[in-house]
Chain A
Amino acid sequence: MALLEIRDLHVGVENRGIIRGVHLNVNAGELHAIMGPNGSGKSTLSHVIAGKPGYEITGGQVLFRGENLLRMEPNERAAKGVFLAFQYPVDIPGVTTTNFLRAALNAQRKARGQQEFSTPEFLKRVREVAGSLNIPQDMLKRGVNVGFSGGEKKRNEILQMALFEPSLCLLDEIDSGLDIDALRTVASGINALRSPERAMIVITHYRRLLDHIVPDIVHVMSRGRIRKSGGKELALELEACGYAQFEDAA
C-alpha cells in the first residue's frame, strides 16, 4: 500500500476547478517533485492534503496509509504524520517559538496517545535539532517568525519538520525568496531528513532546488492535472523546453 494515494481528485474554489483529476501514489522513502507554472494547482494540492479550509472537494479520494485523509481535521492529519512546510510562514507576535513548538509537539503526541514531553526534555530536543540546522537559540525566544528574514522563516519550517518527525512532508515552494546560501542550508536540512520511512513532495517552479534535493520522481502539473511523470531528467527537459508543451496538451 502506498503511503499516500490520490485518486481522481477534483478541487474547486467558488465553482472554479483548480484540480481536475489528479492521480498520485507516493511510497515511503520516495521524494517526489511537482513542477508546473503558476496557477497549475500544485500549491492547492499540498493545501488540500494538509486540510486547509476554503476548498470544495468535488470528487476523488486522498488516502494516507489507507485512511481517508479528507475527513480529518488539519490537526488530526498533523498527528497522523502529515506536515506542510508553508510557502509563506506566518508571523505570530506574542507567542514565542519555543512555546509554539512545545504546544504543537505535545498536542500531536497527545493525539497519538503518547506521553507529552516535560519542559526539560522538550528543551533538550529542540536545542539539539536547532543546533543541527544552525538556528541560534535567541531565534527560539522570539515571537514565531516575528522579524525573521525569509531564510530564517524557511529554516524554522525545517526545524519543525525535524522536530515533529512526520511521515509525509509537503514542501510548498520552500525555495521561494531564498538566496543561494540560504537555499543550500535549507536543502541540506531537508536531505538530512530523508529516510526510508518518510516520503516527501517538493513543490517548485524552478529546477534550481532540484540540484540540491534530488528527486526520485518528477511530475509536471498544468491546469489542474499531472501531465507527465518521469525521473529526475524530466526536470532538465523542462528547463530546456519550458512548460508550454504541457499547456498545449491540456
Chain B
Amino acid sequence: MPNLKTRPDGLRESPMKQVLAKADAERATGDVFAAARGRLPGVGLVAQIRARAFDVYKRAGLPHRRMEDWKYTDLRALIGEVLPLAPRPDAEALVRAKVSAKQVAADQAVKLVLVNGIFAPELSDIGRVENGVVVRSLREVLEDSATGAMAGLVLSTTSDSAISLNAAMATDGLVITVNDGNAVKRPIQIVHVATGSSVSTYTRSYLQLGKEAHAAIVESFVPAEGASGYQANDAMIALVGDEASLSYIRVAAAASDAVNISSAIIAVGARAKLDLFSMTCSGSISRYQGFITLTGEGTKLSANGVNLVRDKLHADTTIVVDHAVPHCTSREKFRAVIDDCGRSVFQGRIVVRPAARKTDATLTSRALLLSDQAEADNKPELEILADDVVCSHGATSGALDDTLLFYLRARGLSEKDAQMLLIKAFIGEAIEGITSENLRDFVTVETERWLQARR
C-alpha cells in the first residue's frame, strides 16, 4: 500500500495565519469544540489527535482570502462563524432522510447513509455488502481499542484548516476496506443527508482499496426537505493499492442556503487506475478540494469535474495532482456552467516532483457563462520540478457561441432547446470520462435536473 504519511503536499502553509486578528465569531469556535467534545467518538490517542487537529485549526482559523489556496472562497467572509454541532438525528429526521436518500440512489448501488453526520444503518444496505468488502462506521473504528492504531491514518490532516477542523470534529463516517484482488461488482454509494437547520456536521470516511482490487464509489450530498442553513464538512481519505482500479464519482447538491466543504486526500499506488469525477450542482457555498498523490509508477489518473452554478451560489473545485514518481499519466477536464449571478472557481495545480520524470499531465478548464453577471475564476498552475516531462494546461471562459446557436435554430430547434443541447454537450466532455455507463447516466440525470430547472 502507498503510505499516506508521506504527506500529500500540494497544500501550502499560510504565511499570514498568525497575523490576522480573528473575528469574535471565530473565537466562539473553541466553544463549539469544547461543547461537542463529549459526543466525539474515541478516547486516548484519538482524543489527542483531535485536540492537536483543533489546535492547527485554531491557529489558522477559517480559511480566508489571504491563504493562496482559498483566495476565491473566503470562508471567513462568506460564513463568518462555525455553527454548533448537529444533534443526533431523531426518528422524524430519519424518515425525512430516507426519502432524500432514495431520490439520489444510484442504480444497483449498495447504499450507506449518513444522516446529519451519523451513520444510519437502518437506511443502509449493510446486508448487501459484497464478500471481500468490509464496511464499518468511523465511530466503531475509533472506539475499538484493537483498531485504535488506525486512528492516525483515518484522522490524518494537512495544513489545510478545513481538513483539520474536520479531523477534530468528525462524528462519524464510513471505513471501507476492499480486500486484495477483489473486484466489487456493485457501486458502493455513500449518501450524506442533511436534515437540520443552522447546525454543522462533520463526516470523515476512509477507503482502503487493496492490491489489484476494483471498485466504484459514489458519494452524494443531499438535503432532506426542510433542511436549511447548515454547514457540512466532509473528508475522504483513500488509499488505492498497486494495480487497483477505482472509479470515484461525487455529486454534491447542498440546500441553496447551505455550505458544503469536502476534501479528499487520495494516495494511489503503482500501475493503478483512478477515475475521479466531482460535480457540484447547488449550495450557497460549496468547496470541493481533492489532493491526489501518485505514489507508484505507471499509474493513470483521470480527474474530471463540473460546477453547475446559478442564482447567487458559489462553487469552488480545487484539485491538486502530485506526481511524486516517474511514468504516471494524469488527465484533468473541468467544465463550469454559470447562470444568473453565480460564481464558479476552479483551481487546478499539477506538481511534478524532481524524481517524476516521464510524467504526462494535462489539464483543461472551460467555463460557460450564461449571463452577464456570472463569474468564473480559473487558476490552472503547473509546478514542474523534473526534466523530461510533458505537461500542459489551458483555461477558457466564454458565452454560448452565437454561430452554433444559429446553426441549431436554423435546423428547427428553439432557442432554449438549442442552448440546452450545447450546454449538455459542453458538460458531456467532462462526463464522458466516466467508464461505467450506469454511473455516467447517474450523473447525466443530475445535470438534466439542473438544466430543466433553468428559467
Binding site for B on A (CB under 8 A): 50-54, 73-75, 77-79, 83-84, 86, 89-90, 92-95, 100, 103-105, 107-108, 111, 143, 160, 164
Contacts and interface: CB of A to CB of B under 8 A. Distances in A.
Given A73-B415, A75-B415, A103-B417, A95 B410 contact: no
A78 B424 CA distance: 23
Contacts of A92: 404, 407-408, 422, 425
Contacts, number: 77
B226 to A, nearest CB: 38
Contacts of B421: 95, 100, 103
Contact of B414 (A52, A94, A107): A107
A78 B410 contact: yes
Contacts of B441: none
Q: Kindly name the residue among B402, B407, B410, B426 whose own CB sees the greatest number of chain A CB atoms within 10 A.
A: B410
Given A75-B415, A94-B429, A95-B421, A89 B407 contact: yes
A104 B413 contact: yes
B409 interface: yes
Nearest to A110: B412
Given A75-B412, A79-B412, A94 B404 contact: no
- What are the 3 tightest A-B residue pairs by CB atom distance, in nearest-first order? A94-B425, A108-B412, A104-B411
A84 B410 contact: yes
Contacts of B414: 73, 75, 107
B419 to A, nearest CB: 12
A30 B33 CA distance: 83
Contacts of B401: 90
A240 B184 CA distance: 76
B413 A94 contact: no
Nearest to B413: A107
B364 to A, nearest CB: 12
Nearest to B407: A90
A90 B404 contact: yes
B103 interface: no
B450 interface: no
A51 B426 CA distance: 25
B428 interface: yes
A104 B417 CA distance: 10
B6 interface: no
Contacts of B452: none
Contacts of A77: 410
A4 B407 CA distance: 22
Please report whether the interface of chain B is mostly helix, strand, loop or mixed according to DSSP.
helix
27 contacts: A52-B406, A53-B406, A73-B409, A73-B414, A73-B415, A74-B406, A74-B409, A75-B409, A75-B411, A75-B414, A75-B415, A77-B410, A78-B411, A79-B412, A89-B407, A90-B403, A90-B407, A92-B408, A93-B429, A94-B424, A94-B425, A94-B428, A95-B422, A100-B421, A107-B412, A107-B414, A164-B411
Nearest to A78: B412
A175 to B, nearest CB: 20
Which residue among B409, B412, B432 has the maximum number of chain A CB atoms within 10 Å of its CB?
B412
Contacts of B418: 75
Contacts of A95: 421-422, 424-425
B292 to A, nearest CB: 26
B402 to A, nearest CB: 7
Contacts of A94: 424-426, 428-429, 432
Contacts of B426: 94
Nearest to A74: B409
Contacts of B428: 94
Interface residues on B, range: 20 to 34
Contact of A86 (B402, B407, B425, B432): B407
A83 B407 CA distance: 11
Nearest to A104: B411
Contacts of A164: 411-412
Nearest to B429: A94
A164 B413 CA distance: 13
A97 B290 CA distance: 36
Contacts of A107: 411-414, 417
A103 B411 CA distance: 9
Contacts of B413: 75, 103-104, 107
Contacts of A84: 410
Interface in B121-151: none
Interface string B67-104: 00000000000000000000000000000000000000
Contacts of B424: 94-95
A156 B414 CA distance: 21
A181 to B, nearest CB: 26
Contacts of A89: 407
Contacts of A83: 410
Given A53-B402, A92-B404, A74 B410 contact: yes
B101 to A, nearest CB: 31
Contacts of A86: 407, 410
Given A103-B417, A107-B413, A108-B412, 19 more contacts: A73-B409, A74-B409, A75-B413, A77-B410, A79-B412, A92-B407, A92-B425, A93-B429, A94-B426, A94-B428, A94-B429, A95-B421, A95-B422, A100-B408, A104-B411, A104-B413, A160-B411, A164-B411, A164-B412
Nearest to A80: B412
Contacts of A103: 413, 417, 421
A225 B429 CA distance: 45
Contacts of B402: 53-54
A9 to B, nearest CB: 19
A143 B402 CA distance: 18
A3 B431 CA distance: 46
A141 to B, nearest CB: 14
Most buried by B among A74, A92, A93, A143: A74
Chain B CB within 10 Å, residue with most, of A89, A107, A108, A160: A107
A158 to B, nearest CB: 14
Nearest to B417: A107
Given A92-B425, A94-B428, A94-B429, A104 B403 contact: no
Interface string B421-453: 110111011001000000000000000000000
Contacts of A143: 425
